[in-house]
Amino acid sequence: MSFEKYYEAFRAYSDIYSDEYRRRIETLEPLLMKHMPSRGKVLDLACGAGGFSFLLEDLGFQVIGLDSSEAMLERARKFAADKGSKVEFVKGNAKELPFENNSFDYVLFIEGLVHFEPRELNQVFKEVARVLKPGGRFILQFTDLRELLPVLINGTVVGAEYWISRVLTDEEEKTVLIEFQSEKESFRVRFNVWGKTAVEMLAKLYFGQIHSENINEHTYFQVYVPKK
Ligand SMILES: C[S@@+](CC[C@H](N)C(=O)[O-])C[C@H]1O[C@@H](n2cnc3c(N)ncnc32)[C@H](O)[C@@H]1O
């Protein structure tokens, strides 16, 4: 049961040249351009394979990508070498960022919430607020798994190869164990379940929200500024 397997199976996260990854970039690019009006220093938090880091570098930002997974960083560094990118990819933990206070104009956090329990996400948000400059922006994109759960339980097909064969939640629906099945194999991953209300309540401790919109039925794009 591992996220490594999940990211390997879904090219939407692991292959920046795949159609699935490209679609994610195409959807977010206009929103990022609109809500990142001046160039500056960006932390791509939980950067994964680095597709959004490269996009922002191409748009003129100075980008550092941070991720805790060596396998993901290896992918990102390979893509960087391939593209001649100058993005620096750093291994680190979002709960304890290896950066000085007030270091970044923007922190981007895309589809990372599922990795964190409430107490951990509290630490992440606190760290994001610390490393952002006053007036800097926290750009957050997440899928509301709480809204999505009833849909998943009905056996959704995901990606080209896999379908969901099992969905098991704990009693309080704080986490969900999802079993992915293909013709060849099956694997399970446990996700933390975050709904929009809970995310916003936690964010409110450290940020003021300046924008929120749906980018599809269950996915939100939000912009925050730190309270400092
Ligand atoms: C769904 S992927 C998203 C990656 C990228 N933001 C994207 O949209 O393609 C979530 C990423 O969070 C990373 N991650 C999980 N826990 C982390 C932590 N504690 N600190 C930093 N990164 C973490 C994973 O390794 C993974 O690359």
Residue 198 pLDDT exceeds 60: yes
* Amino acid letter, 82: D
Output phi, psi for 206, to 5 deg.
-120, -15
The count of structural domains within the chain is 2
Amino acid 118: pLDDT: 97
Same domain, 65 and 14: yes
CA of 162 to the centre of ligand 1 (A): 21
pLDDT of residue 88: 98
In a domain, 69, yes or no: yes
Residue 78 sits in a domain whose CATH number is 3.40.50.150
Q: Judge if 85 and 178 occupy the same domain.
A: no
Q: What DSSP state is assigned to residue 114?
A: G
Pairwise pLDDT comparison (158 vs 101), residue with the higher score: 101
Does any domain span residue 1? no
pLDDT of 120 reads 98
Whether 117 maps to a domain, the answer reads yes
Q: What is the CB < 6 Å shell around ligand 1?
A: 13, 46-48, 51-52, 67-69, 72, 93-95, 110-112, 115
* pLDDT tens digits along 25-68: 999 999 999 999 999 999 999 999 999 999 999 999 999 999 99
- 106 and 63 share a domain? yes
Residues 135 and 112 in one domain: yes
C-alpha span between 66 and 44 (Å, rounded): 6
Q: Does 4 fall in a domain? A: no
Supply the residue whose CA is at minimum distance from atom 13 of ligand 1.
46
Question: Looking at ligand 1, which atom is closest to the CA of residue 71?
Answer: 25
CB environment 3-29: b (16+ within 10 A), e (fewer): beebbebbbbbbbbebeebeebeeebe
**Is residue 123 situated within a structural domain?**
yes
The mean per-residue pLDDT over the stretch 90-115 comes to 98
pTM above 0.85, yes or no: yes
Domain that holds residue 213: 9-144+194-226
| pLDDT band (50, 70, 90) for residue 165 | confident
Considering the domain architecture, whether residues 18 and 123 belong to the same structural domain is answered as yes
Q: Is residue 185 part of a domain?
A: yes
Q: Two tokens at 127?
A: 């760290």
Are both 16 and 87 inside the same structural domain? yes
Residue to substitute in 8, 11, 27, 69 for testing ligand 1 pocket (most ligand atoms within 8 angstroms of CB): 69
Is 2 inside a domain boundary? no
Within this chain, do residues 18 and 107 fall inside the same structural domain, yes or no?
A: yes
Task: Decide if 27 is inside a domain.
Answer: yes
Instruction: Based on the fold, state whether residues 25 and 104 are members of the same structural domain.
Output: yes
Percent of the chain with pLDDT over 90: 85
Residues 105, 185: one domain? no
**Length of the chain in terms of residues written:** 228
Q: What is the pLDDT of residues 125-164, one digit of tens each?
A: 999 999 999 999 999 999 999 999 888 877 676 777 888 8
Neighbours of 92 (CB within 10 A): 17
Identify whether residues 164 and 66 lie together within a single domain.
no
* Whether 23 and 116 share a structural domain: yes
Are 81 and 181 part of one and the same domain? no
